[in-house]
Structures are given as C-alpha cells and as structure tokens.
C-alpha cells in the first residue's frame, strides 16, 4: 500500500495543464438551421489584443454575461438573439456573430453592423469579412448558386454528402465575401464543424496572401540590388587600383546591409504565409470535398490562385538568400584580391628595405675604413711628438731620425685603430641584439 502511494506522488510538468487545455481551446459548437453568420478577422498586435480583451470585458459587463478569462484565447457570448464566438490568435483576432433571426432567405438582410444589430469595437485592421448562410435542403442547389458570381463560384459536397458548400471568394456590395452551406442530413454539431472549417479556410487563405503584396514590393528593390552587384562584379574584373577596390568593397557592404534589412522585414511574413497555406490545405482535407456537377471545387480554385501566390513569396525569399550568398562570395573574392595586392606591396617594401640595408652596410664599412685610417693618422702624429721628445732626451739613438720613427709607428697605429673599431662594432651588435630580445 505504501509503495503504491509512493508511486502516485509524481511532480507534474508546469505546462501539462496548458497542453491538455489546448486540445479543447476552440471547440465546435452546435448550429441550428437556418442561420446567418458574420465572420470578421482583424490584424492585432500585442497592445491591440490587450485593449480588445479589456473592451470585451466592458461589453460582457454591459450585457450581463461572463467575460473571458485573462488568459483565454476563446470565448462564447450570448447576447439575446445573437451568439458571438471570439477567438484570439497570434497575429489576428476573430469575431463570429450568428443568429437565426431573419435567416430563412439567404443574403437578404442588410449589413448588421450598419444597421446596429451588432455593435463592437474593431480591435485592429480588418482582414476578413465573410457572410455565411446555413440553410436546409428546402432551398435548391440552383437557387443558392444564383446568389453568387458565376465566374468564380465553387460548389462542393462536404463529408459523406452531408451538405453542400458554396463560395465565390468575391466581395459583394456590402463588403462581405459570400459563403453558404446547404445541409442535407448533417446534425447540429456536424453543421457547426463544417461552418467553422469553411470560415477557417477563408481566414487562413487571406492571411496566407498577406505575403504577396510584400513580395511584390520587395522585388523591384531586389532586382536593383542584383543589377548593382553585377556591375560591381564586372568592375572588380577591370579595376587594379587599390582605392577603387576599397570603394567597391564599401558598396558591397552597403548592399549586404540593405538585403539583411529586407530579410528582417520579410522573413516572418513569408514564413507565416507558408504556415497559413498549410492550414488551408489541412482544413480542406478535413472538409472531405467532393466535386458537385460542373462547378470547380474550392481546392482546385485555390490551387490555381493561392499556390502561385505562396510560391511567389518562396521565390522572393530564395532570391534574397541567394543574393546574400552571392554578395558574401564576391566580398571574399575582393578581399582575397586586396590581400594579395597588399602582400605584393609588402614584398616590394621588404625588398627595398633589404637593398637599403645592404647599401647601409657597405657605407658603414667604408666609414669604418676611413675611421681606421683617420685614427691611425692621429696616433702616428701623437707618436711623432713623443718620439721627438724622447730623442731630445737621448732615449732614442741619434742614428734614428724622426721620420724613421714615424714610419715604424704606422703599422702599429693601424693595428691598434683596427682593433679598437672592431671592438666598438662588436659592442654595437651586442646592444642591438639585446634590444631586439627586449
């Protein structure tokens, strides 16, 4: 018994509760027929999301309903005849209003925001405004199809022929993109799931396309930088001037800095576009589309339009990465050339220094020779004065003249001068070596 109790005394991971709650964070809600749904998505940053949460608390208090928890990402409100599904995502917030009032005739009701049926403060910039009507089989497929633009209308079967979905992805006169679900034998919970998946397709495809305007805006700047890099590369082959090379290197550094700024500006957006594109594919797979008559499926429609847009973003991002690599390679090549040029200059300077050193050594030898001769000359002169004094004193025999004494002293003076200068040279060399060691 004690062993069993000891086994159950574990320590939970600090994120376990959050991980388990994430699986149930945005549940499907039952949907009764008929229904008109207005779905809005707004781009929100951290500050706007916090302000939106505070505004929702005031709305909840005014309507005497529960406000979302401080850390909630999803909340469901009931305001008389209306239902509000609120969701907060990483970079956008959605408001999904639905009601069964006046919902029998699709798309016949005026804009509920303009008429004041629903009222809320937009938390950020509008990205998606979709109007979804959910009806039963009493309205025929042809009647619903007539309410959409025939040029882009997509009609699909959902699930195992549980419903039909209609969408043309075009903005109507009220500013909404129209969508419709015609239920055949889907229960309320299944109807809620299909409606949510269809609205998620519209939301995520809009978010995925946010990268396309940025890709188009970046492309001219990128083309200009690529052209400038080509000019620098050609100039590098022609120039031999060190100053010109340094100017080209400065231009390369400026190009690399400009491209890094573009990469920083676009990296998140292009990565997000790929992620949202994958979510669109996932939601379409969950809808289990089947082709209906001569109409194209939503997947085929989006594959022809959304996929090229995302590929454009991927291509621009690849061009940016390739451009950075090309600039780095050209910079390394130029630096190598500058290094080789500096090594040649340093070699020439060393050769000149060696030549000058040799000349200096020859000059030193000449100076030392002259110094020996001069010192010997002065020594002989000093010895002549001494010899004259010794001869007058009778120390030197009278047979030896002063000139003979000077001649005899010359070899000794030269030897003494040479020995003295050799010693001075050895001392100088030793001092120079000690200075180099220090």
Q: Which pLDDT score, from 0 to 100, does residue 255 have?
A: 85
Q: Which pLDDT score, from 0 to 100, does residue 72 have?
A: 81
Taking Cα atoms as reference points, which of 211, 322, 216 lies closest to residue 275?
211
Instruction: Report the share of the chain in percent with pLDDT over 70.
Output: 85
Does residue 168 carry a pLDDT above 60? yes
In which band, very low, low, confident or very high, does the pLDDT at 45 lie, cut at 50, 70 and 90? very high
Question: Is the Cα torsion angle 427, 432, 436, 438 positive or negative in sign?
Answer: positive
- What does the block give as tokens for 213? 């305007």
- What does the block give as tokens for 121? 């403060």
Q: Which pLDDT score, from 0 to 100, does residue 391 have?
A: 67
Does residue 24 carry a pLDDT above 60? no
Q: Which pLDDT score, from 0 to 100, does residue 167 have?
A: 95
d(CA 161, CA 190): 12
- What does the block give as tokens for 357? 């050193």
Least confident of 126-130, 283-287, 400-404: 400-404
- What does the block give as tokens for 410? 């010359």
Does residue 8 carry a pLDDT above 60? no
Q: Which pLDDT score, from 0 to 100, does residue 282 have?
A: 93
Does residue 309 carry a pLDDT above 90? yes
3-state class percentages of the chain: helix first, strand second, coil last, to nearest 5 = 60, 15, 25
Cis peptide before 34 (omega within 30 of 0): yes
d(CA 177, CA 199): 11
Any bridge partners for residue 79, and if so which? 82
What average pLDDT does the structure give for the chain? Answer: 83
d(CA 405, CA 396): 9
**pLDDT (average), residues 87-112:** 92
CA distances from 119 to 35, 79, 98 (A): 19, 11, 13
b/e per residue, 18-27, with b = 16+ CB within 10 A?
eeeeeeeeee
Cβ atoms of residues 191 and 33 within 8 Å: yes
d(CA 346, CA 352): 10
What global pTM score does this model have?
0.73
d(CA 188, CA 165): 16
DSSP-assigned letters across all residues of 119-149: -----SEEEEEEEEEEE-TTS-HHHHHTTS-
Domain ranges of the chain: 22-208, 224-347, 361-437
């Amino acid at each position: 018994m004690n062993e069993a109790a000891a086994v159950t005394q574990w320590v939970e991971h600090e994120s376990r509760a959050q991980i388990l709650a994430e699986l149930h964070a945005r549940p499907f809600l039952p949907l009764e027929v008929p229904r008109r749904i207005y779905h809005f998505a707004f781009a929100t940053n951290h500050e706007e999301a916090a302000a939106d949460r505070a505004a929702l608390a005031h709305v909840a208090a005014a309507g005497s309903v529960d406000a979302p928890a401080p850390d909630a990402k999803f909340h469901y409100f009931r305001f008389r005849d209306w239902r509000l599904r609120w969701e907060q995502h990483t970079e956008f917030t959605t408001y999904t209003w639905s009601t069964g009032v006046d919902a029998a005739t699709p798309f016949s009701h005026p804009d509920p925001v303009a008429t004041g049926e629903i009222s809320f403060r937009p938390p950020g910039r509008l990205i998606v405004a979709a109007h979804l009507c959910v009806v039963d089989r009493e309205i025929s497929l042809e009647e619903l199809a007539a309410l959409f633009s025939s040029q882009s209308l997509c009609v699909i079967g959902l699930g195992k022929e549980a419903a039909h979905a209609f969408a043309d992805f075009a903005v109507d006169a009220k500013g909404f993109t129209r969508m419709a679900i015609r239920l055949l034998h889907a229960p309320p919970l299944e109807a809620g799931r299909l409606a949510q998946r269809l609205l998620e397709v519209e939301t995520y495809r809009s978010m995925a396309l946010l990268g396309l305007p940025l890709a188009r805006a970046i492309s001219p700047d990128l083309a200009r930088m690529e052209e400038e890099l080509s000019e620098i590369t050609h100039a590098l082959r022609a120039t031999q001037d060190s100053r010109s090379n340094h100017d080209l290197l400065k231009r390369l550094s400026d190009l690399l800095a400009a491209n890094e700024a573009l990469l920083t500006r676009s990296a998140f957006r292009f990565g997000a576009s790929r992620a949202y594109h994958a979510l669109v594919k996932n939601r379409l797979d969950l809808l289990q589309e089947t082709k209906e008559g001569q109409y194209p499926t939503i997947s085929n429609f989006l594959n022809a339009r959304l996929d090229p847009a995302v590929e454009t973003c991927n291509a621009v991002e690849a061009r940016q990465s390739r451009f950075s690599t090309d600039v780095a390679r050209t910079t390394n090549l130029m630096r190598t050339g500058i290094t080789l040029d500096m090594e040649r200059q340093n070699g020439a300077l060393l050769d000149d220094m060696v030549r000058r050193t040799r000349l200096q050594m020859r000059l030193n030898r000449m100076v030392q020779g002259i110094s020996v001769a001069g010192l010997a000359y002065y020594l002989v002169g000093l010895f002549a004065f001494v010899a004259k004094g010794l001869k007058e004193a009778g120390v030197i025999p009278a047979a030896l003249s002063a000139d003979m004494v000077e001649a005899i002293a010359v070899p000794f003076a030269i030897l003494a001068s040479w020995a003295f200068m050799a010693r001075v040279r050895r001392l100088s060399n030793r001092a120079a070596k000690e200075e180099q060691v220090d």
